[in-house]
Structure 1
Amino acid sequence: MTLPNLKTLVSVLALTAALGGAQSFAQESEAPAIVQPEDWSLDQRDAVSILTAPEGDLDIAVIEVGPAEDAVSAAAAAWQAYAPDAEREVELTTPGAPENGWEERVAISYVTSPSEQATVNALALRQGEDWTVVITNGSQATANKRSAAVSRARDSVRAEGFEREDFSGQTAHALTAERIELLREFVAEAAERLDVPGIGLALIDQGEVVYEGGVGMRELGGTEPVDADTQFMIASNTKGMSTLLLSILVDQGALEWDQQVVELYPSFRLGSDETTQSTLVRHLLCACTGLPRKDWGFILADLDTPASDVFRQLSETQPTSEFGELFQYNNNMAAAAGYIGGTLAYPDMEVGAAYDRAMEELIFEPLDMEDTTFDFEQGESGNWARPHGLDVDGEQTVMSNHFNRAVYPYRPAGGAFSTASDMAHYVQLELSKGLTPDGERLVSEENLLARRERGVEVGEGVWYGMGLFDEEHWGVPVVTHGGTLLGYHSTWYALPEAGVGAVILTNADTGSAILRPFLRRLVEVLYDGRPEAMDQIEAAAARFDAQADARRQGLTIPGDPAVLATLASRYESPGLGVLTIFEQDGETWIEAGAIQGPLATRENADGTVSIVSVGPGVISLEAEIGMQDGTRTLTARDSQHEYVYVEAETD
């Protein structure tokens, strides 16, 4: 989701006027090295390397700047060398942890208008006195569609002489009590630094759960601690379990990975006849069919949407790239895979109920995952962790779980509640290649591992299989998947060669910043790596602070009364449903699907005006106010779609 724009900082051109020395230095330097993704063009001149996407509307430019006063000055000089006529205001600067040999890393975003649908940012990198800047500039849709290539190219820019740690071939240390405590201490310190109320944690070594427990509290200001049996929403970690269901069905002969989906579910349709007939079972899970992410389609939909609506939405969606060409993550495809699996297991039941029963009987019960459920009433009762997010002033606050009910109609893609203890049983299965913790064969090794076969590249050392990521970092193979909902961020890691696994569940949006540093800390503990993980936590804390300040300063809160007075009370959008504007407790509120909260307003760089929901949490709805044939409209956008609400008659 895009943070609101900030308009109070300096423009790029104003800075470049004072930086002629840095600009001159750059022109005398050699062009920096960068990995050229397949099908991208490369233009190198002097100290500038420009990669251009095949669509021609997105650049990644790498500029060797040389000495500069600071990161923003270095970026200004880089823009002068890359596109001297560009004029962009700096919106936000956020520091990053040292990485890839760079002593300082600063991300810079620039002001854009919603209708531009543009990605404009810079990454300023310093080694010694010299700066290198990576500029990404162009179409947001292309940047989203080609996110793997963008990531691969940016990550390839490294400081001169840098050599990454390589632990390949080394034997991992056992997770002794002392090493377990190092990991627990890291989690506790990270939680405190990032203001995460509670974390569930489990560790596995050589097939045994060597630690399961928790850090902190289930609710901010509460007295009930998180333990191994505290329920969290695990979001997209559900996907790997849904693909496990299909693996079991392959073992049973109910389906084949390379079978046409329409043979199993005749009413399945994907965009056109050609793509429908080309879609195999594995394509539902591979994030490689070219279907773009379309999460607003279910976030804004009515909460009582039936599970079968997944198939309607897919029938109206056309791929934006070829099968197998690019990584594009699509939740509806994963949801369809789970529902088809449930239907094959229990053909006489409604698709959602069939999936729930299949997961309970074929996965949760055999793995003794007794606290894992798709039932919100059960998940939100007893020992459960409440979701938390930053409010508009950057303060951590407990949130309603109302928003997360939007995932229920799509639950095979991310709707389960689970615990650190239950998730440890699942990771044990992954590490044992199909055996339950009791040693019983649940799924064949062949079909369990089929989910990890490397498909499309996601970034350097990262590939997507079928509902799982297969990765390699510092020479260490890792199987993983993460999960994100409002107020819940989690992941699990399996390190097959080390025989080690981990589960980490958090109940705050700021918990997202713990997940990757935790993997780094795990590797540090297992292989005596350089201590870098806590630097990443510190950088994340600074980033959250900067983002909170930018969000608040870019908005009029409460919303401008003159702007709010122009709004209709009810809007409708085909395929989504109703959006309402209403007064509550003296404030103007918005409700659309899972979005519910007070409204702010913002004037955009192009003179248009948007309304922005400002409830706590990282996800908010931004909609541009407009007119269409004399009728009031609100237009919301994601990277590849536009959702238009049109004024509707009130009852």
Structure 2
Amino acid sequence: MSRRLVRSALAAAAMLVVGNASLAATPADLDAQVETAMRTHGVPGMAIAIVEQGQPNFAKGYGVRKLGSPERVDADTIFPTGSTGKAITTAALAVLVDDGKLKWDDKVIDHMPWFRMYDPWVTNEMTVRDLLVHRSGLGLGAGDLMFVPSSSRSRADTVRALRYIKPATSFRSGYAYDNLLYAVAGQLIEEVSGQTWEVFVRERVLKPAGMSSSVTEQSARFANPNRAWPHARLGGRVRGMGEQAPLDERKTLGDNAAPAGGISSSANDMAHWMQVQLGHGTWTDANGKQVKVFSEAQSQQMWTPAILTPTAQYPGKLAAFSPKFSAYALGWSVRDYRGAKLIDHGGAVFGVQTYVVLIPEKNVGIAVQMNSEDFQAMRGIAMELVDHYLGAPDTDWATAFDEFADNRIAGGVAALDAGAKANGASPGKASLPIAQYAGRYNDAWYGPIAITNGKGGLHIDFTRTPGMVGRLEHAQHDTFRAVWDDPNIEPAYVTFGLDAEGKVDRVTMKAVSPIADFSFDYQDLLFTPVRQ
């Protein structure tokens, strides 16, 4: 039976009466809602998957895969799924727990003796669970520049660099989202299983889950002609302003960080994945066969909160979206909404976003993917679907998220204006002749960069990040602005510090935009000259 016929049969089954309660049906006006949201926000393409009563009953694509091209998005178009893939890396570890090869509270160093954190005590105490729940003491997004927007590093080399990243807080004292420790989790899977994360996830998670079009390697994504292309608005003073335009799809995430967000998947496959999650590790295939991916015991572990997360109080029309309880489990967030428990996670790589939300008490799952960064459309559609299945009053969530996004961008522009006013119209002169800022510099965890003086002045090259090159424009005193050749990369201020002899002895950086993505963690870098 074809996948289309299977979906039709499941959709029909979902309309049956079970006991005295009729199962909720997908909203009749969903297509119109999606098309309106896409048109209003300029979203090129979108895909939606819905699971009702634990069974996939809706998977559909909308719009185009790439602006300027006629190819349409369908239910088998693959999108990068970003950090929603953290739950799949967690599922791979769950399989190893079921196999008896590790336990959630095993010490990482017992399975990977060469693993090191900055603090030796933390090295000895870090568990498998700790890798997954953002309580390591690392700062928000620490180390992301080792794989954002891409990298020539191996995963093992990335893990080795972790020992040089200083903590921001004490171990297990609080929550700060990171990607780097999921790269460690991917390397751990290889150390324990003898297979790379890419192979193990494909063979032990994706295939058993019936996710036939999903891929773990970037090369496999590029080889699939039915793939969505990333888009963003980069023409204004901060990201999110200007016209929608395609990005370079090969400069969105390094393979070394794939366990944190490198899986690409389709609406059909996301439906299978949600079916596995709602089935607590087991799903029923088209032939009626029960297929176990991981045990119910591990499913309970994955959904059990491990650390409290901030309960943000959203302003204005988003007030009803504010949780009273919020926590992070193993690859999933857990929160309340209108009296129900939601298991959810967002995901983004540059130019593409995904949101997955499960409502366990309703046995419902919703996944929305889109090939742009206009999150208002994606989150608006998702929350309107959640309200539908909870029987809540209609809310125009897209408009509510619009207000939030507009205020965020306006705040970013205002902060830029305030900074420019504070610096004055006449920036101070550089302390040194331009040529004396040139040289090779090294950061302990990132590695080397090169600053050269040539035609047009100073240029900067992040040598382990292909294509991360640009020019340095003087801003004020010994601070320059890095303007990258690739507009997808956030501009940064580069400040040279001088020693008592007037020579450069350190280089620090920070993002120009106050609303830059946290993965551009320039502020964590400290470059020092490489003496020759």
TM-score category of the 2 structures, normalised to the smaller one? 0.7 to 0.9
- The DSSP-based 3-state class of the residue aligned with 2:232 is strand
The answer on whether the counterparts of 1:335 and 1:412 sit within 8 Å (CA) in structure 2 is yes
Q: 1:570 to 1:368 in 2, by over 3 A?
A: farther
Q: In structure 2, which of residues 284, 294, 317 is the aligned counterpart of residue 443 of structure 1?
A: 294
Q: Which residue of 1 aligns with 2:310?
A: 459
The answer on whether the counterparts of 1:595 and 1:621 sit within 8 Å (CA) in structure 2 is no
User: Does residue 204 in structure 1 map to residue 51 in structure 2?
Assistant: yes
The answer on whether the counterparts of 2:218 and 2:262 sit within 8 Å (CA) in structure 1 is no
User: Does residue 579 in structure 1 map to residue 443 in structure 2?
Assistant: no
Q: Shift in Å at residue 539 of structure 1?
A: 1.6
Amino acid at match of 2:379: R
Q: Which residue of 2 aligns with 1:482?
A: 346
User: Does residue 514 in structure 1 map to residue 377 in structure 2?
Assistant: yes
1:77-476 matches, within 5 Å, as 174-177=23-26, 179=27, 181-292=28-139, 293-299=141-147, 303-346=151-194, 354-381=196-223, 382-393=225-236, 394-406=242-254, 408-438=255-285, 439-460=290-311, 461-476=325-340
Q: 1:261 to 1:471 in 2, by over 3 A?
A: same
Distance 1:462 1:450 in 2: 17
Q: Shift in Å at residue 437 of structure 1?
A: 3.7
The answer on whether the counterparts of 1:390 and 1:616 sit within 8 Å (CA) in structure 2 is no
Q: Which residue of 1 aligns with 2:434?
A: 566
Distance 1:277 1:448 in 2: 27
Q: 1:234 to 1:502 in 2, by over 3 A?
A: same
The answer on whether the counterparts of 1:434 and 1:443 sit within 8 Å (CA) in structure 2 is yes
User: Does residue 644 in structure 1 map to residue 526 in structure 2?
Assistant: yes
- The DSSP-based 3-state class of the residue aligned with 2:211 is coil
Aligned residues: 464
- Which deviations, in whole Å up to 9, do the C-alpha atoms of 1:521-556 show, x marking residues without a partner? 123322132413132243256347647866997889
Distance 2:524 2:40 in 1: 38
Structure 2-normalised TM-score?
0.78
Q: 1:298 to 1:253 in 2, by over 3 A?
A: same
- The DSSP-based 3-state class of the residue aligned with 1:363 is helix
Distance 1:585 1:216 in 2: 44
Q: 1:389 to 1:551 in 2, by over 3 A?
A: farther
- Which deviations, in whole Å up to 9, do the C-alpha atoms of 1:34-56 show, x marking residues without a partner? xxxxxxxxxxxxxxxxxxxxxxx
Amino acid at match of 1:573: N
Distance 2:157 2:185 in 1: 13
Q: Shift in Å at residue 334 of structure 1?
A: 1.5
Q: 1:551 to 1:600 in 2, by over 3 A?
A: farther
The answer on whether the counterparts of 1:300 and 1:577 sit within 8 Å (CA) in structure 2 is no
Q: 1:643 to 1:223 in 2, by over 3 A?
A: same
More displaced stretch, 290-299 vs 482-491: 290-299
Q: 1:222 to 1:265 in 2, by over 3 A?
A: same
Q: Shift in Å at residue 428 of structure 1?
A: 0.8
The answer on whether the counterparts of 1:291 and 1:319 sit within 8 Å (CA) in structure 2 is yes
Q: Shift in Å at residue 500 of structure 1?
A: 0.9
- The DSSP-based 3-state class of the residue aligned with 1:236 is helix
Q: Which residue of 2 aligns with 1:596?
A: 468
- The DSSP-based 3-state class of the residue aligned with 1:509 is coil
More displaced stretch, 493-502 vs 292-301: 292-301
Q: Which stretches in structure 2 are left out of the alignment for 5+ residues?
A: 1-19, 237-241, 312-324, 511-519
Q: 1:579 to 1:194 in 2, by over 3 A?
A: farther
Amino acid at match of 1:357: V
Distance 1:499 1:549 in 2: 43
Q: Shift in Å at residue 241 of structure 1?
A: 0.4
Amino acid at match of 2:392: D
Q: 1:356 to 1:440 in 2, by over 3 A?
A: same
Structure 1-normalised TM-score?
0.64
The answer on whether the counterparts of 2:458 and 2:473 sit within 8 Å (CA) in structure 1 is no
Q: Which stretches in structure 1 are left out of the alignment for 5+ residues?
A: 1-170
Distance 1:437 1:602 in 2: 62
Amino acid at match of 1:361: E
- The DSSP-based 3-state class of the residue aligned with 1:451 is helix
Q: 1:603 to 1:456 in 2, by over 3 A?
A: same
Q: Which residue of 2 aligns with 1:536?
A: 400
The answer on whether the counterparts of 1:479 and 1:494 sit within 8 Å (CA) in structure 2 is yes
Q: What is the alpha-carbon root mean square deviation over aligned residues?
A: 3.4
Q: 1:207 to 1:583 in 2, by over 3 A?
A: farther
Q: 1:587 to 1:419 in 2, by over 3 A?
A: farther
More displaced stretch, 414-423 vs 310-319: 310-319
Distance 1:578 1:318 in 2: 18
Q: Shift in Å at residue 474 of structure 1?
A: 1.2
Amino acid at match of 2:260: A
Q: Which residue of 2 aligns with 1:122?
A: none
Q: 1:241 to 1:296 in 2, by over 3 A?
A: closer
